[in-house]
């Protein structure tokens, strides 16, 4: 029994060593090795697309009209204290909603149409209390459910 256990352990050790040797032998440029680039950090994305956080905040404020979102920002802190990642996500969502639907009301109408609940005023009112990112996620999910 002891020899069997030692034998298995050695096989495992050889397999691990062989895997490391194989991984080391691959060149960095070979597909599947290290050819994928890492996603840029939120700060790097902000600097590349908007040059500074202040310009990103201004772009979000321009998109954040009464038609597109419910203002739930803390008055004391404002958008300046929101993380870069959240601001980038909010900018993407508001841009997408503005381009595809034009307003939150039209997005809510689209959700009601997909779910075949156009006459349900209570449902429409409940959706009206949701944030724009949540509505967009709900629309995407409802669209997938309707397709299947």
Tokens of 76: 């004391």
Q: Residue 30 — pLDDT band, cuts 50, 70, 90?
A: low
Q: What is the pLDDT of residues 90-142, one digit of tens each?
A: 999 999 999 999 999 999 999 999 999 999 999 999 999 999 999 999 999 99
Cα gap 43→41, rounded to integer Å: 5
DSSP-derived letter for residue 41 is P
Two tokens at 78? 């404002």
User: Residues 94, 102: contact at Cβ < 8 Å?
Assistant: no
More confident residue, 98 or 72: 98
pTM of the model: 0.69
pLDDT band of residue 6 (cuts 50, 70, 90) is low
- Higher-confidence residue of 31 and 46: namely 46
**CA separation for the pair 111, 135 (Å, rounded):** 8
Provide the residue ranges of all domains of the chain, joining segments of one domain with +. Answer: 1-36, 51-147
């Amino acid at each position: 029994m002891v020899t069997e256990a030692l034998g298995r352990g050695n096989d495992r050790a050889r397999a691990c060593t062989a895997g490391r040797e194989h991984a080391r032998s691959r060149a960095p440029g070979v597909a599947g090795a290290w050819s994928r680039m890492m996603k840029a950090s939120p700060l790097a994305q902000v600097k590349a697309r908007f040059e500074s956080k202040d310009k990103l905040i201004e772009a979000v404020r321009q998109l954040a009209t009464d038609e597109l979102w419910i203002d739930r920002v803390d008055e004391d802190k404002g958008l300046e204290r929101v993380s870069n990642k959240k601001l980038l996500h909010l900018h993407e969502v508001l841009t997408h909603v503005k381009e595809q639907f034009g307003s939150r009301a039209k997005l809510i109408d689209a959700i009601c149409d997909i779910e075949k609940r156009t006459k349900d005023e209570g449902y429409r009112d409940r959706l009206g209390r949701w944030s724009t990112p949540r509505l967009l996620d709900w629309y995407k999910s409802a669209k997938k459910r309707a397709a299947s």
